[in-house]
Amino acid sequence: MSNKVRIGIDVGGTFTDAVVIDNSTYEVLAKQKIPTTHKEGVALGVVQLISSLMKENNIAPEDVVFIAHGTTQATNALLEGDVAPVGVIGMGTGIDARSARNETVVTDIELAPSKFLKSYHTFIDSKELSNDTIGKAIQELIGQGAQVIVASEAFSVDDPSNELKVMQEAKKRGLYNTGGHEISQLYGLKMRTRTAVVNASLIPKMMEAANMTEKAVLDTNIQSNL
């Protein structure tokens, strides 16, 4: 096959599917599915599927100009309670400080019987925000068991700079992180924080899956970015 092609992969709970389409016409050229390789790691199934499709359809690695990956693993992780504990750094100042402190506390969320999304909380007055106070807050949360950091400040949809400072400090420490302003541009600190906590709890699992899949794609000698 000399045409340039696109490959799409979907890793589901039961099957891993792949489809090949012509890059110019979007015509479906081939498709295939295999049982998802949970025990050995889903990346193995991705490699097997891509390799099989390329061999059967005479596709050279350089012919693949686009490769996309979708998965239900985030949904499955939520349903099964397979999530990371989250540390929340709430922020606010002045007359908003008390309400911001309360609204950035997220109680344990039950995802499955006896399985909870756990979160830990600390609060910094925005006027006292510095690399030092942020660092101490992060260490406090890690000490409690947090693996991912959420930065959530009142009115961050208007000015996310303080959330970005917290996220940068978390990144320096090698921690996955997210800010409320990334999740929603709607006002409502409590809901924005809660949604950010759910999102953050899934990041380690999804990064692991994405990294494994990216490595699997590279193992097939395809040079197009996942």
Contacts of 168 (CB under 8 A, 6+ apart): none
Please name the amino acid found at residue 184. S
Task: Kindly tell me if the per-residue pLDDT of 77 is higher than 80.
Answer: yes
Choose the weakest-confidence range: 29-33, 170-174, 205-209: 205-209
Q: Tell me what the pLDDT averaged over the chain comes to.
A: 92
pLDDT over 90 (residue 97)? yes
Q: 72 pLDDT band (50/70/90 cuts)?
A: confident
Kindly list the strands in the beta sheet with 15-22, ordered across the sheet, starting from the edge strand earlier in the chain.
28-35, 15-22, 5-11, 64-71
Residue 121, φ and ψ in degrees, nearest 5: -135, 140
Alpha-carbon 188 to chain mean position? 23
If one compares 93 and 44, the residue with the highest pLDDT of the two is: 93
Task: Report percent pLDDT > 70 for the chain.
Answer: 99
The 10s digit of each residue's pLDDT in 46-69 is: 888 999 999 999 999 999 999 998
Report the pLDDT averaged over residues 147-157: 96
As to burial, measured by CB atoms within 10 angstroms (0-12 exposed, 13-18 middle, 19+ buried), residue 179 is: buried
pLDDT band of residue 45 (cuts 50, 70, 90) is: confident
Indicate if the pLDDT at residue 39 is higher than 80. no
What is the tens place of the pLDDT at every residue in 179-194?
999 998 889 999 999 9
| CB 203, CB 84: distance < 8 Å | yes
CA angle 43, 86, 89 (to 5 degrees): 135
Residues in the chain: 226
pLDDT of res. 162: 98
* Token digits of residue 84: 């990371």
DSSP assignment letter at 151:
E
Is the sign of the CA dihedral 110, 111, 115, 116 positive or negative?
Answer: negative
pLDDT value at position 110? 92
How far apart, in whole angstroms, are the C-alpha atoms of residue 195 and residue 119? 12
pLDDT band at 2 (very low <50, low <70, confident <90, very high): low
What confidence score (pLDDT) does residue 36 get?
Answer: 87
- Tally Cβ neighbours within 10 Å of residue 25: 9
How far, in Å, CA of 174 to CA of 177, rounded? 9
Does pLDDT of 43 surpass 90? no
What pLDDT, on the 0 to 100 scale, is given for residue 216? 80
Compute how many other C-beta atoms are within 10 angstroms of the C-beta atom of residue 172.
Answer: 12
Distance between CA atoms of residues 24 and 66, nearest Å = 12
